[in-house]
Structure 1
């Protein structure tokens, strides 16, 4: 018997920022495909059929042909196992609910060993998908069993547990559309939008503007009603009670029918409506008491449909109407079975956050049990054929009505949110018709909720959904704000750590609080807080999450780019001193300057269109990077007559050079002599290229030349004397 073919995973690295492969986080895996190097896919009997039977969605992969079915075409023509693992990994992530599209497979210098890179939104999911992909491909090759559906279900559960929730992801996607960067701060839904002092934070639909006092008010329904009533917002009349006897007395006081709810409830839990007799009131009290923390509200029942209006800032940005859930008996099925057949089959319903409506479980819901009891039924009862049974009065808000909300209805909801003090609020209203004026109907605000759910607006039963994420981002960041602070990245091997410190000092004396991460340590606001080598992704992230940092400088050695990725998504200035191949790059299979060029270009690729690349004119490969820059270019060099400098200047570009041992800045025909090298301390004067690169970056950041000159004179090489 022929021994089974194998694929070995040699190394897995999570590149958490822009990297040699792409602008976004990827997992890079090194795969040894062994003897499969001699067996492309078109030589493996039955492989194509088994693989596509397990993963029919592979037909959507365009691959190099660039058309639907392109990858399947490659399979039939013959491609190698590493390339197949790449596509299978992407498809498994997509099937698990974490759609990604980028992937590449490249052969290394060692025969049969490949680097495979693929986009992932969450590291543990990506690693699990990779492992499953290798096992699935091997099973398809060796014709052994594989439970593809079961493995996808496991991955889907991992996505649900580890990835951002759909509401948070919707907001983050809206930030990405505005080119506002984000950093996930925890394993949950706490996300930073922007960097340093320009950042904002969200936690699902809460923001760093959401008042803790307002949240407390919103959770206290009685206090909320009192405030709303005082400010003229229509509310149902009610009383706070602490016993079933008091609840019945209040119901008679208020007038039947009534609604009963927990004082501190939310999401419709413990709410009973249209209660018309003592037994129902007493039972509803117990339900509400159990679902809340003690006190219960008895209030007049307002007939109409439940509505949820989402208020962001001072405006209603989305509205949805509720549906009452009923089943119709067939004379054979129990209430529970009818619910499963007629309601839970609705594709909008599910147990995870991606579904706008939850599954209905009559036996587990005290509110449903109460409504069934009032109808003389239980979950195990068998309604007669044609008998309509009320299952759920509220909690089914999923019909979008945003475009039809009357201005007076929207005004009442917005006022309610402002009265409570919430910047983002879900205002629950009972209305006969949201398209009619408030004065023409008996409408009322029944709750104001902090941290409202967004799914009913993102994925309503009708329409494509409302852009609520965009509304929240626009609320947090006005049109002119980008969430960015000045960021500078430095790549190369020519005194880059010292250059980073010098540049940070020049920015510091311009009046900004600077964060610096380099090989000589981590510096915050003129203090070295970590003396270790901090030219790392983790140290860079520490800088960017600090709310006092107004500008940031990062040293990015090639090894950091290859092993971790950049700490930021984009930068205002990217400096490259040289391509700088070194022996330690062999471990990444980067063997010469040509391959190292692809690493250095990462620093230039991330320069913003409004930014600047600062490049060493004396290095031909560095000069070649200019064509890859989306922004402007400033060259620096010792000799103003050097061809690159002269040509760039003749074309109106900016250069920095030496003339008569003095640093000169030139913008086309205009010149400005900054200062003689003799004015600098000997250690700096001996490194003119380093000084010129830092000067060019400071110039690109629009620091006044007088301050640049002053900074050069006052900078100390010893970090104990000058923190930077």
Structure 2
């Protein structure tokens, strides 16, 4: 064992790009020691994690810190790039590794130190569990992660401006663009407003001969009764401005079910609408910059009866299957939850959780690919007429990026010929659907968005001059700014230890020589 417990002398969080790479990194300064001098080699030593024995090995010239950081992050499922383990003038070493946030980097460093101090105890579960909690709490999320990865591959500068919500900046200066999920600096405010109200959108699209499911607003129960007589059954009752299927009730066939559905929809919005139910398959088609990027076909979660077991038991058996071992809703086939929404879906099929399902009868547990169902990539099937139809709808709605929900018996046939309808247009759509399809090619919409914002070979960069030294930095910086100043062609920003200027105009006083002032 060590005579002196290792400690972290100093720590830094380095936002990317930095000397170690284009992405954020975490650097710690620690005492220089080698595992071969202080610890028993880990070769064939068993480590216990989640009641499983796992075997790892290392070489004598790998430091204890490097081994600890790599092993714990691997067990915690944290993607890690270990940059270097280098000596510095103080006789200590810098340990540098990739970290998406200061909180995650600090947790990795602290847990690595704790494991070393324990003498590399066999049971690593406590250290790994704390890492998993930190990763879940402070991670950037899958959409942001894909944006950062695609930006790195393109050589486009990227900065996380805020984590709640995940607001990203790409490029610098006049080439700067922002993205919030699938909404960008180019997203139309009018388009977002129009599509947020389903009733208004359907009325407008119907006027330009786009096949939509026409709807009527329900203000009270008396209107509910009259509309139920007016519409062909079955109908759908849902909030006019909710998302992700919240408050939606399908297959309404009588006044009793309609009243329950109306009250449920009112919990999510004051504006409730009724529309005819369209029969067919559910599709999500995502467009970026007037081009179809991805089409996913939904397959609802379901169970099949055997004539002996209750529905609740069948659902437990389904959740116990290996492919459903997660509650992560960004993953495919997550566990089916016993929610009010599920009970409503069951009631429309005339069953409940205590019903014994007849042999070979299929019971659906969700409306679409969400709530435990699956998504299937189906790009090749979309009929060209349907693509042109959606383009026209998005042009009218003034949306450059959108997810279009369609119900159709067959997307390979024109909607006009088979009764298919556009049921919803989503500004800033969920791109996880296409990245996590259960079958077919996974498509990263974030790449298409970056290619749209920055057509090849554009990288969103501008000339940046950094001046360093002992004396004369401010004077030199001002001279460079003066020499390149040309207001009719470009804007010159200058950040010095005196003040901050834009095109020679003072915008902030004080020492503005730091990184944040230059970035702003």
Asked if these proteins are the same fold (TM beyond 0.5), I'd say: yes
Whether 1:238 and 2:215 are equivalent positions in the alignment is yes
Deviation at 1:130, TM superposition (A): 1.2
Distance (Å, rounded) in 2 between the aligned partners of 1:236 and 1:299: 6
Distance (Å, rounded) in 1 between the aligned partners of 2:309 and 2:503: 71
Whether 1:155 and 2:152 are equivalent positions in the alignment is no
SS at match of 2:247: coil
Deviation at 1:30, TM superposition (A): 1.0
1:158–1:423 CA distance, 2 compared to 1 (3 A): farther
Deviation at 1:489, TM superposition (A): 1.9
Deviation at 1:247, TM superposition (A): 2.6
Q: 1:365 aligns with which of 336, 340, 358?
A: 340
CA contact (8 A) 1:336 1:361 kept: no
Q: 1:28-78: per-residue Cα shift (whole Å, max 9, x none)?
A: 101126xxx3x634863474444755599999xxxxxxxxx9xx4xx2434
Deviation at 1:352, TM superposition (A): 3.9
1:533 paired residue number: 511
Distance (Å, rounded) in 2 between the aligned partners of 1:330 and 1:288: 34
Q: 1:155-195: per-residue Cα shift (whole Å, max 9, x none)?
A: 33433332322123223322222211111111231111110
Q: 2:87 aligns with which of 107, 120, 123?
A: 107
1:352–1:516 CA distance, 2 compared to 1 (3 A): farther
Distance (Å, rounded) in 2 between the aligned partners of 1:468 and 1:379: 38
1:43–1:198 CA distance, 2 compared to 1 (3 A): closer
Distance (Å, rounded) in 2 between the aligned partners of 1:508 and 1:455: 45
Deviation at 1:95, TM superposition (A): 4.7
CA contact (8 A) 2:111 2:131 kept: no
Whether 1:82 and 2:65 are equivalent positions in the alignment is yes
Whether 1:40 and 2:18 are equivalent positions in the alignment is no
CA contact (8 A) 1:261 1:296 kept: yes
Equivalence map 1:324-403=2 (5 Å): 324-329=300-305, 334-343=310-319, 345=321, 347=323, 350-352=326-328, 354-355=330-331, 359-362=335-338, 364-366=339-341, 368-383=342-357, 386-394=360-368, 395=370, 396=373, 398-403=375-380
Q: 1:513 aligns with which of 491, 494, 497?
A: 491
* Range with greater deviation from structure 2 (243-252 or 294-303): 243-252
Distance (Å, rounded) in 1 between the aligned partners of 2:221 and 2:325: 34
Whether 1:219 and 2:178 are equivalent positions in the alignment is no
1:454 paired residue number: 431
1:346–1:432 CA distance, 2 compared to 1 (3 A): farther
Distance (Å, rounded) in 2 between the aligned partners of 1:403 and 1:458: 17
CA contact (8 A) 1:238 1:254 kept: no
SS at match of 1:180: coil
2:468 paired residue number: 491
Higher helix share goes to which structure? 1
Whether 1:320 and 2:296 are equivalent positions in the alignment is yes
CA contact (8 A) 2:323 2:333 kept: no
1:507–1:77 CA distance, 2 compared to 1 (3 A): same
1:240–1:476 CA distance, 2 compared to 1 (3 A): same
1:131 paired residue number: 110
1:369–1:203 CA distance, 2 compared to 1 (3 A): same
Distance (Å, rounded) in 2 between the aligned partners of 1:129 and 1:77: 22
Distance (Å, rounded) in 2 between the aligned partners of 1:381 and 1:334: 5
Bigger radius of gyration? 1
Tell me, which stretches of 5 or more residues in structure 1 are unaligned? 60-68, 543-724
SS at match of 1:288: helix
Distance (Å, rounded) in 1 between the aligned partners of 2:455 and 2:47: 48
1:121 paired residue number: 100
Whether 1:474 and 2:457 are equivalent positions in the alignment is no
1:694 paired residue number: none
1:524 paired residue number: 502
Tell me, which stretches of 5 or more residues in structure 2 are unaligned? none
CA contact (8 A) 2:324 2:335 kept: no
1:180–1:240 CA distance, 2 compared to 1 (3 A): same
1:257 paired residue number: 234
CA contact (8 A) 1:136 1:146 kept: no
Q: 1:196-219: per-residue Cα shift (whole Å, max 9, x none)?
A: 111111101111122222222111
Distance (Å, rounded) in 1 between the aligned partners of 2:53 and 2:110: 19
2:12 paired residue number: 13
SS at match of 2:187: coil
Distance (Å, rounded) in 1 between the aligned partners of 2:6 and 2:315: 48
SS at match of 2:216: strand
Q: 1:360-415: per-residue Cα shift (whole Å, max 9, x none)?
A: 322x233x222322344333545456543222122346111012211112222222
1:245–1:338 CA distance, 2 compared to 1 (3 A): farther
Q: TM-score, normalised by structure 2?
A: 0.89
CA contact (8 A) 1:43 1:78 kept: no
Equivalence map 1:53-202=2 (5 Å): 72=57, 75-88=58-71, 91-92=72-73, 94-111=74-91, 113-141=92-120, 143=121, 146-148=123-125, 150-188=126-164, 189-202=166-179
Distance (Å, rounded) in 1 between the aligned partners of 2:486 and 2:136: 48
CA contact (8 A) 1:120 1:126 kept: yes
Distance (Å, rounded) in 1 between the aligned partners of 2:2 and 2:85: 26
- The size of the alignment, in residue pairs, is 514
Whether 1:417 and 2:417 are equivalent positions in the alignment is no
1:336–1:123 CA distance, 2 compared to 1 (3 A): farther
CA contact (8 A) 2:252 2:348 kept: no
1:567 paired residue number: none
1:265–1:128 CA distance, 2 compared to 1 (3 A): same
- Superposition RMSD in Å: 3.0
